[in-house]
Amino acid sequence: MTQNRPTGVPCPNCGTFIPMTVEGLLGAAPFTCPNRACETTLHINVESSRGSLEILEKFERETAPAQKLKKTFGSR
Ligand SMILES: [Zn+2]
Report pLDDT for 38. Answer: 95
- The closest alpha carbon to 2, from 62, 56, 74, belongs to 62
* Cα separations in angstroms, 46 against 23, 36, 41, 66, 74: 11, 26, 16, 24, 35
* 62-68 CB contacts, 8 Å cutoff, 24+ apart: 62/4, 62/5, 62/7, 66/4
Distance 17 CA to ligand 1 centre (A): 8
Q: Enumerate residue ranges in the chain where pLDDT < 70.
A: 1-5, 23-28, 44-53, 64-76
Report pLDDT for 73. Answer: 61
Report pLDDT for 42. Answer: 81
3-state SS assignment for residue 49: coil
Distance 5 CA to ligand 1 centre (A): 20
Report pLDDT for 62. Answer: 76
Distance 32 CA to ligand 1 centre (A): 8
